[in-house]
Structure 1
Amino acid sequence: MWNKNRITELLGIEYPILQGPFGGGLSTAELTATVSNLGGLGGFGAYTLSPQEIYDIHKAIQSKTDKPYNLNLWVNDHDIISAEHTKAQYQKAAETFRPYFDLLQTDIPAPPLSFESKFQNQLNVIFDIKPKVFSFMFGLLDENIIENLHRNGTVVLGNATTLDEAVALERTGVDIIVASGFESGGHRPSFLDQAELSTTGTFALIQLIKDRVKIPVVAAGGIASGRGIAGAFKLGADAVQIGTAFLATEESGALPIHKEFLFSDAAKSTTLSRAYTGRLGRGITTKITRDVLAGTDQILPFPLQTHFMGALRKAALEQHKNELVFFWCGQIAPLLKHKKASALMRSLIEEASELLR
């Protein structure tokens, strides 16, 4: 049976289908629970949340499902070098994006007073609530941390965009590697080299990693159907992680206009850009991404670029000038069909089961 393997046993799930854990308010308790209740593994991206908010969302998900789900954090949650360096960068960014703020007749936001990493305090909550599954991105965890998570009964997943990252993750003791291919929507969670140099496609990455590591591998990127699942399994994947297709469903936290774009012709063209948050990510190609594609020296480090662009995004959405908004989206979006998470999940299971009998 295709749906009975090392990953389903480790995670305690019926089907090796993982829902991508979206950050920035795109994850919801309803979506996470829906996927888990139907036999997959729901996911919740919590990197922007305070410790109390993580505790609260854990309780909210538990109120909707008694099944396992994946709680995701970012090990490295900022790229800020120094206050002096950031001040100079902020001036450059202001000049680059001023025409867009002028067009929308809105003010360029003032720099935030300071930024402190949330990760250590967030990790303390993970030890308190003891989730069945914990995944992390943008770095490595100390081996002692992973051992302590294991003692709590937590299965640990690490995200890799290259073979070298996968090998490094296996050495630290993670249980499962999520192979994040170039096709994926959202951020590229690279950590050993520049994200622009870590753009291997999903199906190549699966084969490279399976040839070198012994722990199970999840294929992530460019998969939105049973055919995609079957292809990934034929190449050695033990499970798949699906993001964009679940992001487009009614249960996700994406704005209605974002979901509308995912089902539109605009989704045929996607771009990898740092313009939205300061870290490389894939979204729908719009005017603003075309204009600033090459202007990476004027883009602020993460998460300051997110703060900087927040006012621009808000004004653009309010004025319905959607060409000035960057919507997260993977390359597979033109194949999307389902607007309900339950219908999508059932379709994935049925088609994959037919093809992998």
Structure 2
Amino acid sequence: MPTALTDLCRHPIVQAPMAGGASGPELAAAVCQAGGFGFLAAGYKTADGMYQEIKQLRALTDRPFGVNLFMPQPSLADTSAVEVYREQLAGEAAWYETELGDIDGPSDDGYEAKLAILRDDPVPVVSFTFGCPSRAVFDAFAKVGTYTVVTVTTAAEAQAAQWSGADVVCVQGVEAGGHQSTHRDDPHADGTGAGLGLLALLAQVRETVQIPVIAAGGLMRGAQIAAVLAAGASMAQLGTAFLVTPESGANPLHKQALTNPLFTHTELTRAFSGRPARGLVNRFLREHGPYAPAAYPAVHYLTSTVRKAAAKAGDAQGMNLWAGQGHRLAREMPAGRLVEVLMAELDAARAALGQDRGAAEPDVTGGAA
């Protein structure tokens, strides 16, 4: 077993696990082959669907890779707010000539079945979103040689992950696209500006935990990677930057929207899933975001049919267009080529500071500053 997560790849670049189809075997394989670290997103997939993608990825590359799991969410005790939201979305369903989804889908995302598969047929890395597993889960993965990563949005969450036995924390700044990986969904924090930017959060986490840190949130250029490595991260995780690559499974409308001048900015919203997520501001987000309840994954199931119908109709105004704050910097090129370009930019940024790649390698053994 390697002595550090960074021993699994040549470059300190992690391709984020983006659920919903973007992060499939083709994208992960391309990133791995280029020397980065690729991830499969198991969220919203069945346990067997996850396993089939793992087999596909293994056929595409012999390089190490990771699999991301969603933590189980509390069952929705009161559905009244979701039913009110259903009434508000009736016009959307009629417009797209579809029915609203059934909110009674599973809240555990097949978690236990996925854990069982990953223990029986281990992969190099497993990461967790929306919470932190028990020590027993971490111990079981340690026994089979699997590194574990927990995504965190506060220093307290990072400390809890370290105490529980995680090998690494992925620090997610508020700039990140897609869902905020808070361990406790607090609707009272909505609109308060409570989320921290990546550099501020990274500094806090580095002074709180002694395990290695991956930095995520709005990173689109090699110079930004250099900045987070200099700030103490071991690796940098990029999601939006890889969305527009041909290997990405994102909808073409989603890819086009990232650099379309029509979409000028992003916001955090509950409109599509019931959990705060950053996406491009479109009609659906503007009209329904202010009224969406804190009810994940019920709202995700409720809106799923409308989102699919909007995509089928070619209407980006009715889709969830997840994107980080740096979305306008997206570059359409193959994923492997993007890794090469990012590394060239990283080297240039280091050279500008009188460094070289070897001299500037970050501390990957962890340790508070």
Query: Structure 1 residue 329 and structure 2 residue 323: aligned?
Result: yes
| Maintained 8 Å contact 2:169/2:212 | yes
How far off its partner does 1:230 sit?
0.9
Q: Distance in 1 between matches of 2:314 and 2:141?
A: 46
Q: Which residue of 2 aligns with 1:8?
A: 6
Q: Which residue of 2 aligns with 1:102?
A: 94
How do residues 176-187 of structure 1 correspond to structure 2 at under 5 angstroms? Answer: 176-187=168-179
Q: Which residue of 2 aligns with 1:38?
A: 34
Q: Distance in 1 between matches of 2:99 and 2:136?
A: 47
Q: Distance in 2 between matches of 1:67 and 1:106?
A: 43
| Paired residue total | 344
Match of 2:136 among 133, 138, 144: 144
Change (3 A) 1:300 1:239: closer
| Maintained 8 Å contact 2:104/2:298 | no
Change (3 A) 1:209 1:90: closer
Write the deviation string for residues 70-119 of structure 1: whole angstroms up to 9, x where unpaired. Answer: 1000112x34323xx22x2342012211222233343334x355535211
| Maintained 8 Å contact 1:244/1:329 | yes
Match of 2:146 among 149, 154, 160: 154
Q: Which residue of 2 aligns with 1:190?
A: 182
Query: Structure 1 residue 81 and structure 2 residue 81: aligned?
Result: no
How do residues 1-357 of structure 1 correspond to structure 2 at under 5 angstroms? Answer: 6-9=4-7, 12-76=8-72, 78-82=73-77, 85-86=78-79, 88-109=80-101, 111-112=102-103, 115=106, 117=108, 118-192=110-184, 194=186, 196=190, 199-296=195-292, 299=293, 301-356=295-350, 357=356
| 3-state secondary structure, aligned to 1:63 | helix
Q: Distance in 2 between matches of 1:116 and 1:305?
A: 11
| Maintained 8 Å contact 1:17/1:41 | yes
How far off its partner does 1:48 sit?
1.7
Segment of structure 1 superposing worse, 239-248 or 229-238: 229-238
Q: Distance in 2 between matches of 1:304 and 1:21?
A: 22
Change (3 A) 1:116 1:310: closer
Write the deviation string for residues 165-216 of structure 1: whole angstroms up to 9, x where unpaired. Answer: 0111111111111000100001001014527475111111111111121111
Change (3 A) 1:29 1:105: closer
Write the deviation string for residues 125-156 of structure 1: whole angstroms up to 9, x where unpaired. Answer: 11011111111111111112211111101011
Q: Residue type of the partner of 1:321?
A: D
Write the deviation string for residues 43-79 of structure 1: whole angstroms up to 9, x where unpaired. Answer: 1110222222222111111111111101000112x34
Unpaired stretches in structure 1, ≥5 consecutive residues: none
**What percent identity do the matched residue pairs reach?**
30
Q: Residue type of the partner of 1:16?
A: P
| Maintained 8 Å contact 1:93/1:300 | no
CA RMSD of aligned residues (A): 1.9
Q: Distance in 1 between matches of 2:156 and 2:198?
A: 15
Q: Distance in 1 between matches of 2:291 and 2:208?
A: 37
How far off its partner does 1:29 sit?
0.5
Q: Distance in 2 between matches of 1:238 and 1:268?
A: 32
Q: Distance in 1 between matches of 2:64 and 2:141?
A: 15
Q: Distance in 2 between matches of 1:352 and 1:94?
A: 47
Segment of structure 1 superposing worse, 124-133 or 317-326: 317-326
Q: Residue type of the partner of 1:165?
A: E
Q: Distance in 2 between matches of 1:79 and 1:271?
A: 25
Q: Distance in 1 between matches of 2:282 and 2:159?
A: 36
Q: Distance in 2 between matches of 1:53 and 1:319?
A: 26
